[in-house]
Amino acid sequence: MCREVWSASNVGFPWKDLPLVRTRSVVDGQSAVTGRVSQTLAARGAFAEFLRRETTGGFLLLAATALALLWANLAGGSYHDVWRADLGFGPSWLHLTHLTAGAWVADGLLAVFFFVAGLELKRELVVGELADRRAAVLPVAAAAGGMIVPALVFLAVSWGAPGAVDGWAIPIATDIAFALGVLSLAGANVPASLRVLLLSLAVVDDLGAIALIAVLFTRGLVPVWLVAAVVLLVGYAFAQRRRWRSPALYVPLALALWMCVHASGVHATVAGIGLALLTRVRPDPGEQAAPALRLEHRLHPFSAGLVVPLFALAATGVPVTASALGAVAEDPVSQGVIAGLVVGKTAGIVGGAWLAVRAGVARLPADLGWRAVMPIGVLGGIGFTVSLLMSRLALDDADAQQRAATAVLVASTLASVLAMIALRLSGAGRARAE
């Protein structure tokens, strides 16, 4: 059962079955209180359903991005003061003492988004669009092309400039949250298989980028914390296999896993993906929905309505002044970032998918043609999350980091606009005729 159908049948709130008892023995005051409680719960359920709409998340994302740009460029001092505020705590061995407000959003809250995205990916791999192995190979091939070609384009454009050799990893990643948000704004006629393809290749893409961070840029990888994280993942898998359902078990386990992954030096959002891929997706006999679908249903409003917009607010406040844009236009590294994301991503994703299909190891979904795949390649050029992180890790000079961040914003904006145009031209972005 897909998330949308199950959501529609449950109206988003499990308290719908609570009886609203009104007997003659109930005094008027008690009846009034009960009625108000029922109305409050119903309102919460309706609000949750509103947040579950894909277009709602997309509009909130764009609004948060616009607010971040205005805030950073009109009152930049306060913007940076807020997100660089020190919110660290705990003993030093937990590695939480140095976390800023922005880091808590990017490393902490964003793990919830990756968990929800991972749940959807796991469901599609087991019982959905990607259950066919040849269908599952397609996003892997597209993601591989979407990492290799942008790096080559970056090097070709920026070769010989300071930082060119170090910055090749900046344009290789796709921002899942932003890409899905832009896709959600395209209209009601976007095929589900198109969204699944984007989601799956973006997850593979980001996992590859995170692996590169671990191999190339992590200076203090701590094996003991990695081992602890693996032990917790094994414990989670065991609990899923035993059909244990208590939040009193899973919530502390998830928090402990996040802390272990963060302390290990690996990007903490990997914890969310790891848990998601181990969550059971097939319902047992007599079970209305499997844990993956229930968790996705409950967490999606929180992820789309709070986590992703808050991340956009914290991550996209980069300067777009005339001087900043002029510096980007004259900087070969920034030019390489823009070309890698806008041109390289499109060519790499579409080219990787085409080669895999031609080789016979992958296949396109039945309802998609190459004309519909092109917008996915363009959407892959939306960077932000990992691209901004890569720019900070790969470039040592603060000015170079700032130029690269502005270049990522410019490229992501261009990719978003071009993707909307490509979706419209392909027919995937037109609303259904009633």
Q: Would you say residue 354 has pLDDT above 80?
A: yes
Domain-embedded: residue 151 = yes
pLDDT digits (tens, 9 = 90+) for 239-281: 999 999 899 999 999 999 999 999 988 888 889 989 999 999 9
Q: Would you say residue 161 has pLDDT above 80?
A: yes
Domain total in the chain: 1
Q: Would you say residue 432 has pLDDT above 90?
A: no
pLDDT digits (tens, 9 = 90+) for 398-423: 788 888 889 999 999 999 999 999 98
Domain-embedded: residue 39 = no
pLDDT digits (tens, 9 = 90+) for 202-219: 888 877 887 787 677 666
Q: Would you say residue 33 has pLDDT above 50?
A: no
Share of the chain above pLDDT 90, in %: 35
pLDDT digits (tens, 9 = 90+) for 364-392: 888 888 888 899 999 999 987 778 778 87
pLDDT digits (tens, 9 = 90+) for 309-352: 898 898 888 878 888 889 999 999 999 999 999 999 999 999 99
**What's residue 30's pLDDT?**
46
Q: Would you say residue 434 has pLDDT above 80?
A: no
> Can you give the pTM of this predicted structure?
0.76
* Domain interval for residue 259: 56-426
Domain-embedded: residue 42 = no
Q: Would you say residue 60 has pLDDT above 90?
A: no
Domain-embedded: residue 26 = no
Domain-embedded: residue 431 = no
**CATH number, domain at 87?**
1.20.1530.10
Predicted confidence band of residue 11 (pLDDT cuts 50, 70, 90): very low
**What's residue 18's pLDDT?**
39
Confirm if 327 and 403 have CB atoms less than 8 A apart: yes
> How much is the average pLDDT of 64-90?
87
Domain-embedded: residue 226 = yes
Domain-embedded: residue 432 = no
Confirm if 356 and 365 have CB atoms less than 8 A apart: no
Average pLDDT, the chain: 82
Q: Would you say residue 104 has pLDDT above 70?
A: yes
**What's residue 145's pLDDT?**
95
**What's residue 42's pLDDT?**
52
**What's residue 34's pLDDT?**
47
Domain-embedded: residue 21 = no
